[in-house]
Amino acid sequence: MPLHLTQHLKNELHLTPQLLQSMKVLQMNTDELISYLKEAVNENPVLEYADDAALPAEFAALRERFSWIDTSPVHATFRHEDAERPEYGREDLRTETLTAFLLDQLGRLTLTKPAAAAAEYLARLIDDDGYIDQEDIDATVAMGVPEELAEEALSVLQSLDPPGVAARTLSECLLLQLSRRGIRDAAAEAIVRSCLPELGKKQYAAIARKLSLTEAEIRAAEKTIVSLDPKPGSAFETQETAVYVRPDIYVVEDGGVLTAIVNEYCLPQLGISSYYESLAKEADDETRKWLKERVHGAKELIDSLGRRKSTISRCADALVSVQQDFFLEKSPDPVPMRLSDLADLLGIHPTTVHRALRDKYLQCRQGVYPLSFFFSRSVSGHSRIAVKRQLAILIRDEDPEKPLSDRKLSELLSGGGVTVAVRTVAKYRAELGIAGSFARKQMK
């Protein structure tokens, strides 16, 4: 077979280090970027903080005109003396765990050394909800701890506070709590032992047949069972640190004109050290090469920050133009819009839009919103948020004695011009945290 040589042109994108850095910086939100810039300054001696008195003044003027704007400090936490200081009480909070509470109680008991050691070991295996896995107990025995000693240690743990701790199952947990109350409730104990699934589904007739109880006895027992704590250890869960969102974009309105402002007021302003630039001209070849690389890297980072601001600003302007009825409070919900729609409007690739808006937040006079709030597929010309709002209103206004089924809700929404399948109604209802019609009737 003869060989032929041909020529053709082809565009290829090579991911240079500079391009990778621009992509990385673009997809960072404001808080992530602050941390990244702090690390960059620590690693590159050529980079330095540049004082810009204009930014604090601009931010103060902006807040004076729009009092709802985020009240976070103008400067980032780099120069703040308390930036790294832990929250008061944080160390104490770490010790207020279920394990620590149990070990403290064990230390006050008079136990043999083997029993104390076994109980302490098992206490460390109890999960955050207050339960211990039977497999962990079996593994303890398999390691050489006598079975009688393991049972004694478990019994000791189950005698501690909170009531119900160290149970292996939900039934055992509730039975331990009933026992600690000192009141004999045969119906409640029987239901807890064998009919918890039926009780959860309100299947009173099935429970009555299985246990030979009357409905009145079942309902009385239900009140007792509901008062018990299915997760006795949950009160000791470590509290999560509050997450404070720093808006990446402000949307302000002045005389009916909307403006999107990229929040760079809290970002450290970076510059290149003139000392190192001059040193690069006088140093030996090796030092000069090293310094030139650092200067080049610093300039690339500063350029990346400029490109980030430009891209986010373009995306924000386009988003505001599409969602102006929401920002002007003419509509309670944003219109349906996809990332690809915004990309088409700007003439850029959807992945660029995704990086620019990913994990970022917008603040307007209505509040602070994740940018993902403004993107959703169209459901019969409406956004998912609008459909969920209508669904919640229908359920709120329903007859408590005759709750609307998902099929009926679908029909009512369709009658209002929103065609939604029954399974979609069930999905949206679950996302709203609303129970099914049968459970709603029981609750009401």
Choose one of 191, 209, 236: the last residue of a domain.
236
Q: Is the pLDDT of residue 78 over 60?
A: no
Boundary residue ending a domain (352, 374, 396): 374
**Model confidence band, residue 320 (pLDDT cutoffs 50, 70, 90):** very high
Answer yes or no: is pLDDT of 83 > 70.
Answer: no
In this structure, are residues 283 and 263 in contact, taking their beta carbons and an 8 Å threshold? no
Q: Give the burial class of 180: count Cβ atoms within 10 A of its Cβ; 0-12 exposed, 13-18 middle, 19 or more buried.
A: middle
The answer to which of 92-96, 295-299, 392-396 has the lowest mean pLDDT is 92-96
Residue 415 maps to which CATH number?
1.10.10.60
- Give residue 148's identity as a one-letter amino acid code: E
Residue 80 has pLDDT above 50, yes or no: no
Q: Are residues 274 and 342 located together in one domain of the fold?
A: yes
Residue whose C-alpha is closest to residue 404's, from 379, 429, 433, 387:
429
Q: Which helix (H) or strand (E) holds 293?
A: helix 285-322
Q: Compute the 3-state secondary structure of the chain and give helix, strand, coil in percent, each to the nearest 5.
A: 55, 10, 35
Domain identity same for 224 and 252: no
Tokens of 353: 């839009």
Average pLDDT of the segment spanning 185-194: 91
- Alpha-helical regions (H) of 266-284: 274-282
pLDDT at 164: 93
Mark whether 210 and 257 lie in a shared domain: no
Same domain for 103 and 228, yes or no, is yes
Q: Is 288 exposed, middle or buried (0-12, 13-18, 19+ CB in 10 A)?
A: middle
Instruction: Give pLDDT, residue 102.
Output: 92
Q: In the predicted model, what is the mean pLDDT of residues 233-249? A: 71
Residue 208 lies in a domain: yes
Q: How far apart are CA 123 and CA 150, in angstroms?
A: 12
CA 55, chain centre distance (Å):
31
Residue 278 is assigned to a structural domain of this protein:
yes
Whether the pLDDT of residue 95 is over 50: the answer is no
Same domain, yes or no: 106 and 214: yes
Kindly state whether residue 4 falls inside one of the protein's structural domains. no
User: 204 and 279: one domain?
Assistant: no
Q: Are residues 99 and 232 in the same domain?
A: yes
Cross-strand bridge partners of residue 367: 364
Looking at the structure, do residues 201 and 288 belong to the same domain, yes or no? no
Burial of 61 (0-12, 13-18, 19+ CB in 10 A): exposed
pLDDT reading at 366 higher than 60: yes
Whether residues 232 and 100 fall in one domain:
yes
Q: pLDDT value at position 31? A: 87
- Choosing from 323, 352, 374, the residue where a domain stops is 374
- Distance between CA 119 and CA 195 in Å, rounded? 31
Same domain, 319 and 369: yes
Per cent of the chain over pLDDT 90 is 30
Q: Using DSSP bridges, classify how beta strands 361-364 and 367-370 pair: parallel, antiparallel or unpaired.
A: antiparallel
Quick check: is 30 in a domain?
yes
Q: What residue spans of 159-195 are helical by DSSP H?
A: 170-181, 186-194
Using alpha carbons, select from 179, 142, 144, 141 the residue that is nearest to residue 159: 179
| Residue 362 contacts residue 369 (beta carbons within 8 Å) | yes
Looking at the structure, tell me whether residues 210 and 166 fall in a common domain: yes
Q: Tell me what percent of the residues of the chain surpass a pLDDT of 70.
A: 86
Residues spanned by the domain of 356? 17-71+245-374
- Residue 11 falls within a domain, yes or no? no
**Secondary structure tally for the chain: helices H, strands E:** 22, 6
Task: Kindly state whether residue 111 falls inside one of the protein's structural domains.
Answer: yes
Residues 390 and 384 sit within 8 Å (Cβ to Cβ) = no
Specify if 123 maps to a domain: yes
φ, ψ dihedrals at 172, nearest 5°: -65, -40
Using an 8 Å Cβ cutoff, are 288 and 280 in contact? yes
| Pick from 99-113, 200-214, 239-253, 341-355: least confident | 239-253
Q: For residues 357 and 372, what is the distance between their CA atoms, to the nearest angstrom?
A: 8
Which 3 state secondary structure label does DSSP give 337? strand
Q: How far apart are CA 13 and CA 263, in angstroms?
A: 31
Is 102 in the same domain as 232? yes
Cβ-contact 166, 160 below 8 angstroms: yes
Total number of domains in the chain: 3
**273 occurs within a structural domain:** yes
